[in-house]
Amino acid sequence: MSQDYRATADALSRLTPAQYRVTQDDGTEPPFRNEYWNNHEAGIYVDVVSGQPLFSSTDKYDSGTGWPSFTKPLAADAVTEKVDGKLWMRRTEVRSSGADSHLGHVFDDGPREAGGMRYCMNSAALRFVPVAQLEEQGYGDYRGLFEDTDPSTGSANSKENAS
C-alpha cells in the first residue's frame, strides 16, 4: 500500500481544536480523559492528520499512565523521534513520519519481554480503525495482524471462545 501521508490544508482544517493543539502545537491531552487510553478493541491506530498507519492494538498495553501505550510502531519508519527538552526532563518526542504530527513520547520503561519501550501517545493524534473496517477504509494490508480476530466483532477468537 503506497500512500502519500503528508499533511494537507484540507486535512488540517478538519481537525478539532484539541487535535490541532496536540498534532500541530505539540500539546498533550489529559490522562484518563481521552478517547483511546482504555480502548481494548482490535484494530490499528492511524495519524488523525494523514491516515498513516502507526500502531496496532496487538502492541497496545495498559501502562497505567492514562494514555494509549504501545510497545512499538507498526513499522520502524512510521514514526520519527527527536529530543524534547521543553519540560523539567529530557524526553524523546514521537512524530508521524509522513505528516510530521506530534504524537507523544517514547520511554524505556515498557514491558521488558516486548522490547522495553513505551510509546505513550495522545488519543487526539490518532484515529482508530477497527478490524472489521480495515478493508473498507483502505487498510486491508493490515488484516493479517488479526488472523485470530473475528472481523464482525473485533474480538479475539480463542479456544475458550470457540465452545
In a 10 Å sphere around its CB, with 0-12 CB exposed, 13-18 middle and 19+ buried, how is residue 10 labelled? Answer: exposed
For residue 82, what is the DSSP state? Answer: E
CA–CA dist 64, 120 (Å, integer): 11
Active site residue 120: yes
Residue of 134, 65, 66, 120 lying closest to 92 (CA atoms)? 120
The sign of the dihedral angle between the CA atoms of 78, 156, 131, 36 is negative
Strand ranges inside the chain, DSSP E: 43-47, 53-56, 60-61, 69-70, 79-84, 91-96, 102-107, 118-121, 126-130
Catalytic: which of 120, 121, 124, 129? 120
Residues assigned a catalytic role: 120
